[in-house]
Structure 1
Amino acid sequence: MNTRAKRLAIPLGGAVAASALLGASLSTTAEAAPDRKTRVLAASQSKAKAVAGRWTSARLKSATRYTSGAAASGKFKVSKKASADGGAGRIGPTSQSAPSGGRSKNVNLPRTIGRVFFEVGGKAYYCSATSVHGQFRNLVATAGHCVYNTEANRPVDNFVFIPGYYQGKAPWGIYVGAQYHTHYDFDVYEDYDRDYAFVNVYNGVKREGNKWVDIGRLGDNVGGQGFAWNQPIGKKSFVFGYPTGSHPDGDRPYTGETPKFCYGQTYAGPAVPEFKVEEHVAIKCAFTPGSSGGPFLLQYSSAKRTGYLNGVVSLVIDSDGNQRFDRTTTPYFDGETASIYKYASNRWTGSLLRR
């Protein structure tokens, strides 16, 4: 992927913000890697605790799927085939012994998937996401547009991840976002060929009476998917998410309360100029908005409920103009993606409750 050439061709569309490294607290530092942007979500324990408190069951139920930068319709040219920028690599899943994630048709659903909830302009929204392996078992992968508001050129507010979400319930706790890491080109140029994000979250919390209780690290509670990069296009993949919205013709086949999946072979997807997409990877899939950020998983084992994260849902597309979404696309995960992932996977967070 010729990132530098795209940067020169695309006018500046976003604000540049100082990045942050996470220690005992989140302090602003100079940007260390030219292809990574790091931004703070909740920089202290007290702020994180306040974020968790906002997401009552009623507030969760009031959230709507995030459709800003999530869908496109029309007849599109085929994008350039994304290519590896180095050797292929994989990092294995986090081992875990969490409860079942349920079933959809004949497939055991991953325990790692859930919804991310956040606010834009005070309104509650959600996307899909998954826990992914990290050194400190505190890492979530989702779409870049689910953490960074491209219209306001700033991060979303009050971000949390709820694995296994169902009807306002958080069966494995609420995990408040501490900081996220995106590609420079998404943050600054709003280039959807880099529409992914890795979020470090604090330990999960649950309410017991009037008290918050720390329930431990995300990866210990639900596990984490592996990670793969520079993989050849054309492999079979599962895609999971919480599709909710209607098709352009108004039909609404999904409730959004339970995860769904698609399965098929990836290929070079449509080029979508509206989102600066030139090198997306696609799968035939009728997902609707709400699925943004859901994982593309290679070598998914239904028995183990794990595979290798090799993409996240970026766009749902009506590719032939018949008012029905028929394609789901992801950015290609290359060596630059791996570099951002590896940086994020080594950031510590800890508890949001004072000890």
Structure 2
Amino acid sequence: MRRATIVSAAALSLLAPLVAAGPARAATVATVPLATVVDKAREVAGFWLADDAANLRAATPYTVLATAAGGERLSTGIVPDGPAIAVQPIGAENPPPGEEFATSGKVFFIGSDGRPHWCTGTSVQSKYRNLVATAGHCVFDIEAPMGALGKWVFVPAYADGATPYGLYVGKQGITHYDFEDLHDFDRGYAFATVYNGVVLSAPDTLTTVARLGDSVGGLGIAANQPLPPAADVLGHPSGLHPDGTGPYTGQSLERSSGPTFAVKPAGLRADRPVGVDSPFTASPGAAWVTGYDAGTRAGYLSGLTISVADTDADGRYDTGISPYFDTGLFQVYQDAANRWTGSITYVSG
């Protein structure tokens, strides 16, 4: 499932983390259009915001690939395939008051069942401050011939139909070729570029608010790092434990912290995923954050939950599972982080 890649030293330099995408990465990156035409993007925004955000409120958790049958925690580490990489986080122009984790929110879309669903998504650093990270299957439809999930948007700090920092319509989805072509969940991550945020200022009237990173900031990226002693998991867990209990509703952003380790999950096509000790039930797209500073509200994205597992067979989920962030992840990120989007309205608010 894994393929060799070659990256120049310049591409991995911390002094130039956002080098423009070039031919050397073309075979690594797979893209899919979300709403590449402005008129279509306006229709998508209207779909989610109309009728007091009725479709946002009606969306349900996305349960595709939510759980693995079980798994084994491994004592071995994971060997990076290149130099350690750390892209610095960015702060919001005007930090949101009282919103410590405003970079996190929900991505909404229409699944192959024709119904509205959501996963967790996270704003990350990029050249144009317009990039969201989430699980690959929360952008690409793995239940149908691989293509985009419909009407894709991101709402940071979402709660009960509210869009406090605007709604951001996706323009393009970007993932690793091995995920798009082979369903290799060692590459089960995705990024989505988003237009400037909008709000419904009057019936049928969209007003621009700001670029995503200007509104809420963006996490940095950590790749080819040793497994951290611990990671904070930020997501919207929902659903039942195997024992029938359901401690999470998916309605609010939750945080858990725990050690990380190599894991061998059952029933998931992945050679070297990473596990984190977490009690969360299904939480696809949840961000794994390391080096978080509460004062600056900044940290580094080092993983993304793609599934959860019960590794001690006690009938309760205890482990979140993420792809290991390696050189391939950084190549995909670099490509995505240099894509411009713009506005879907004619006049900025």
- Scaled by the length of structure 2, the TM-score of the pair is 0.88
- Measure, in 2, the Cα distance between the counterparts of 1:217 and 1:174: 10
Partner of 2:2: 3
In structure 2, which of residues 96, 105, 108 is the aligned counterpart of residue 99 of structure 1?
96
Q: What is the correspondence of 1:193-272 to structure 2 with a 5 Å cutoff?
A: 193-210=186-203, 211-272=205-266
CA 1:50–1:80: 2 relative to 1, 3 Å: farther
Equivalent residues of 1:31, 1:37 under 8 A apart? no
Moved more, 343-352 or 56-65: 56-65
Task: State the shift of 1:34 in Å.
Answer: 1.2
SS of 1:73's partner is coil
**Which amino acid is 1:219 matched to?**
G
**Sequence identity of aligned pairs in percent?**
41
**Which amino acid is 2:217 matched to?**
G
CA 1:303–1:69: 2 relative to 1, 3 Å: same
Moved more, 203-212 or 262-271: 262-271
SS of 1:3's partner is coil
Task: State the shift of 1:193 in Å.
Answer: 1.0
Task: State the shift of 1:329 in Å.
Answer: 1.3
SS of 1:344's partner is helix
CA 1:101–1:279: 2 relative to 1, 3 Å: farther
- Measure, in 1, the Cα distance between the counterparts of 2:308 and 2:256: 12
Task: State the shift of 1:168 in Å.
Answer: 1.0
Partner of 2:344: 352
Task: State the shift of 1:236 in Å.
Answer: 1.9
Give structure 2 stretches of 5+ with no counterpart: 5-22
Task: State the shift of 1:275 in Å.
Answer: 2.1
Equivalent residues of 1:148, 1:154 under 8 A apart? yes
- Scaled by the length of structure 1, the TM-score of the pair is 0.86
Deviations 1:125-178 (A, max 9, x none): 000010000000000000001011112022100000000000111111100000
- Measure, in 2, the Cα distance between the counterparts of 1:137 and 1:354: 19
In structure 1, which of residues 102, 106, 113 is the aligned counterpart of residue 104 of structure 2?
113
RMSD: 1.9
Equivalent residues of 1:101, 1:110 under 8 A apart? no
Task: State the shift of 1:81 in Å.
Answer: 4.2
CA 1:277–1:100: 2 relative to 1, 3 Å: farther
**Which amino acid is 2:297 matched to?**
R
Query: 2:129 matched to 1:130?
Result: no
Q: What is the correspondence of 1:181-200 to structure 2 with a 5 Å cutoff?
A: 181-200=174-193
- Measure, in 1, the Cα distance between the counterparts of 2:236 and 2:64: 16
- Measure, in 2, the Cα distance between the counterparts of 1:213 and 1:65: 28
Q: What is the correspondence of 1:166-177 to structure 2 with a 5 Å cutoff?
A: 166-177=159-170
Moved over 6 A (4+): none
Equivalent residues of 1:79, 1:279 under 8 A apart? no
Equivalent residues of 1:73, 1:323 under 8 A apart? no
**Which amino acid is 1:259 matched to?**
L
In structure 1, which of residues 48, 51, 74 is the aligned counterpart of residue 70 of structure 2?
74
- Measure, in 2, the Cα distance between the counterparts of 1:79 and 1:101: 39
Deviations 1:48-94 (A, max 9, x none): 01011111322111111111112112354749743211100111111
Give structure 1 stretches of 5+ with no counterpart: 6-29, 103-108
Deviations 1:229-288 (A, max 9, x none): 10001432111001121212221111222111111221102233x221221111110111
- Measure, in 1, the Cα distance between the counterparts of 2:179 and 2:91: 31
Equivalent residues of 1:136, 1:345 under 8 A apart? yes
Partner of 1:322: 314
**Which amino acid is 2:129 matched to?**
R
In structure 1, which of residues 7, 31, 39 is the aligned counterpart of residue 32 of structure 2?
39
Equivalent residues of 1:73, 1:321 under 8 A apart? no
CA 1:351–1:334: 2 relative to 1, 3 Å: same
**Which amino acid is 1:347 matched to?**
R
- Measure, in 1, the Cα distance between the counterparts of 2:86 and 2:244: 40
Partner of 1:14: none
- Measure, in 2, the Cα distance between the counterparts of 1:32 and 1:197: 16
Moved more, 60-69 or 132-141: 60-69
Q: What is the correspondence of 1:330-349 to structure 2 with a 5 Å cutoff?
A: 330-349=322-341
- Measure, in 1, the Cα distance between the counterparts of 2:25 and 2:258: 38
- Measure, in 2, the Cα distance between the counterparts of 1:101 and 1:226: 21
